[in-house]
Amino acid sequence: MNETAAVPELDIDPYAPENLLHPYPMHERMREAGAVVRLSPYPSVMACARHEQVHAVLNDHATFISSAGVGLTNFRTEKPFRPPSLILEADPPHHTATRAILSRILSPKTVMQIRATFAAEADALVERCVAKGEIDGIHDLAQPYPLKVFPDAVGLDGEGRENLLLYGDLVFNSMGPRNELLARSAERVGPVTQWIMDHCQRAQLRPGGFGDQIYQAAEAGEITMEQAPMLVRSFLSAGVDTTINGIGNALYSLAQHPGEYARLHGDPALARPAFEEALRWESTAQTFYRTAVRATEIAGVPVQENTKVLCMLAAANRDPRKWPDPDRYDITRRPVGHMAFGSGIHGCVGQAIARLEGEVVLSALARRVKRIELTGEPTRRLNNTLRALETLPLRLIPA
């Protein structure tokens, strides 16, 4: 093939229920078809599923911009479903100040300060799960844990937190097409959007919490007072549904691999690499888009100005060009370079907190539970962007 050869076109809809349920055969077809492919249901999109090209696109933020939206919708020609995020859906120079603020609030130093609290909550919740014996891994563990620790750290009070689940589901569905999934989650959300915006106000946020720290940055002149609630909105959009599913997917990964769980139980210090490998193996955020701001190329394939480029993070995370035996869940792999948190200047700003949450939950489990057994078929919650479980029936056998 030369550089002007036609781009392979596949009759694949990444948002069709069968592909959301079982994405891996689709990922392989996309990776093997070419470095860049087209998908016939979305004729204007170009898609990358190999690690090298996904990494290249995400690390050229000057060419592949985020301000036109990081979903299928092109904000230059279509109306965003909500006012754009000041960090996710922004480019430098606008992105720079907001990123610096969130990066400071969610820094390694913060992780050191919150670690003991986050670990104690994980120990207590795992203890309650062990007492139950038979649990739903999602409703009894993966969901209540982030829903407790993260909004506590942001500084929200206890009431109405389930609203964060409905809102997160909508935000991540909104990055796909206007399909049934989006319509149904928009229906369910109703007054929740107003609840979210109300809870971005300073009066709702405990002094000293992550939310209040954004207002402090506004007082210091780093952003305007009008921008502050919008940046708190990013915490409430991206901070809960992501970690719930990261933890849920890690529990499911371990439940499917009793040998790997046994290694984790034998050495609880493997909690962190076991979580990291679960992020690679079952990436929570499956996809993000960028938009070509000018005519360019990817792997020699011409890309026209204003093209939406679909980056298949989850496919890149199982690319055999990058990972030996990519479909194997191996908790000692240490998967440096996985893109479950994205890559480049937009790489997940909360990843240190996400890793802390995953680590302390798996560590509590490793210390307290000898074996975890699936007691039935898990069910999925389909979402246009997230790989999510609805239920995960488990039996915990205490150590």
Which parts of this chain interact with ligand OVM (CB under 6 A)? 85, 87-88, 171, 233-234, 237-238
Nearer to ligand OVM, 71 or 335 (CB): 71
User: Is 277 within 8 Å of 270 (Cβ atoms)?
Assistant: no
Element (H, E) at 397: strand 393-398
Nearer to ligand OVM, 26 or 88 (CB): 88
Find the shortest distance in angstroms from Cβ 76 to ligand OVM. Answer: 19
DSSP string, 180-238: HHHHHHHHHHTTHHHHHHHTTSGGGS-TTSHHHHHHHHHHTTSS-TTHHHHHHHHHHHH
Nearer to ligand OVM, 170 or 396 (CB): 170
Find the shortest distance in angstroms from Cβ 233 to ligand OVM. Answer: 6
Find the shortest distance in angstroms from Cβ 41 to ligand OVM. Answer: 24
User: Is 177 within 8 Å of 42 (Cβ atoms)?
Assistant: yes
Place of tokens 């104690």: 120
User: Is 292 within 8 Å of 305 (Cβ atoms)?
Assistant: yes
Nearer to ligand OVM, 171 or 274 (CB): 171
Find the shortest distance in angstroms from Cβ 124 to ligand OVM. Answer: 28
* Other Cβ atoms closer than 10 A to 332: 12
* Other Cβ atoms closer than 10 A to 297: 12
Find the shortest distance in angstroms from Cβ 202 to ligand OVM. Answer: 18
Find the shortest distance in angstroms from Cβ 43 to ligand OVM. Answer: 26
Nearer to ligand OVM, 175 or 254 (CB): 175
Nearer to ligand OVM, 241 or 319 (CB): 241
- Euclidean distance between CA atoms 291 and 304, whole angstroms: 10
Find the shortest distance in angstroms from Cβ 237 to ligand OVM. Answer: 4
Phi, psi of 97 (to 5 degrees): -70, -40
- Euclidean distance between CA atoms 57 and 3, whole angstroms: 18
* Nearest in space to 52 (alpha carbons), one of 337, 292, 363, 289: 337
Nearer to ligand OVM, 303 or 315 (CB): 315
